[in-house]
Every structure is written in structure tokens, then in C-alpha cells.
Amino acid sequence: MELWPAIDIRGGKCVRLLQGDYERETVFGEDPVALVQQFISEGAEQIHIVDLDGAKEGRPVQLKTIERMVDSCAVPIQLGGGIRSLDTVRAYVDAGIQRLVVGSVAVEQPQLFESLVDSFPNKIVLGLDARNGRVATRGWVETSHLTSVALAQKYAHAPLAAIVYTDIAKDGMMDGPNLISLREVIMAVDLPVVASGGIAREADIKAVVECGAAGCIVGRALYEGAFTIAQARKAAGEL
């Protein structure tokens, strides 16, 4: 299982939000490029980046910062936040991003989402951000009527790179992932599913492995020293 250390960017800084709430922000670093290099020096073999400003605005906001982050490393980058057009996908792919997480478009503009996936096979990741079982959009500000499982099944046969499943209630709370809902998504589709939200200890990573997830995204636990990247990779079976 792949471990994806997370770097969320807002206002050019590395931050974490509690349950996706922009009013409950903690700044963990002033320099995203330095944090990428730190994670890689500690053993990270892939990085997950979120443009929080872009997610809220619906367009790339931190493109220049992200380009500097990509240029500073040679590991695969997975990026989400504000990816809602073919031009945006093309710009990020040209910048060297390996995988792009798209959520809002999959709910609000299904034809566009299918076009993105067909134009960039195995590059697009379906972002399932769930609040009380329903998929949230636009930087988690709005909640749709669709369930996570229903949306996953809608695109189950598309040439997606993966699905990222995030339980918003668990995100940043350090009280463990929602394993029941994660397992439901994994069982519903024959696609790799990456777990996100609530992972606070090595035992949580092992539990996610046992659920059958293809990877997990870890943020606050790394920043607060709950475990090292090496320990997390060992728990995930990477080492």
C-alpha cells in the first residue's frame, strides 16, 4: 500500500484544516518547497498536494507554488483542488503532475469529467469527499445528494488512476479513519481506493491496509510527530 504524505497549501503556506473548515486552520510551515524536500529526505516516495485556495475558488490559485514544488523533487505528485477544466488538467500535466484529483466536476458536470478521464487515461483520480455519507463539493463548502458509493459506481468502468475517499468528519481530527465507509467504497468498485482522513497512529495505517485500500494519505499525524514517514511506510507495507 502506498503512503502519500499530504501538503495542503493556503495563501502560500502549509496548513491543515479541521474537518475542512477554513476557519479552523493551523499553519505548519511557511515554505511548501522546503516541506517537500523534508518529506523526501525522510523517505517519502510520493507526495499528495491540495490547493485549498483553488478548491474554494474553482480554479488554480497556487499554480506557481506547485510548479516550484514539482521542480524541487523527482517523486510522483498527486494534486487536488480547483481542477475543473481541460485546460487546467493540461497545464498541471505539462507541469509534471502525475495524478490529478477531481471531485466537484464529477458531481456537477459528469460529461466534462468523463471527457477529462478519456483525454487523460490513468491520470485522473476521482475525489470522493463525504459528509454524513453524501459527497461534498467546492472545497467541501457544499454537499450533494449523491452517496459516495453511488458516485464511485457511476464511474467504476472509467480509466481512472484511483479513487481518493475522504471522510470529512474525520479529517484532521486524529481519532482514526472511518473504516466502515471506506470498506463500503472498496467493495463497491474494482478500482484502487486511497484512504484519507483521521489517520493518527501506525495501527490506523495497518487497519486501512486490512480494509484493502491501495494507499493512504497522511497529514496532521506527520506534522505533529505521531510517527515518522519511515514508520508509516513500514506500517503500510512499503518497507
State the catalytic residues: 8, 129
Strand 142-147 relative to strand 134-137, pairing:
antiparallel
Q: How far apart are CA 58 and CA 46, in angstroms?
A: 25
Residue 150 burial (CB count, 10 A): 14
Q: How far apart are CA 28 and CA 78, in angstroms?
A: 20
Give me 226's grid cell. 505521531
Q: How far apart are CA 168 and CA 146, in angstroms?
A: 15
Q: State how far Cα 154 lies from the chain centre.
A: 20
Reduced to 3 states, what is the DSSP secondary structure of residue 101? strand
Q: How many residues does the chain have?
A: 239
Sign of the Cα pseudo-torsion (124, 32, 47, 6, in order): negative
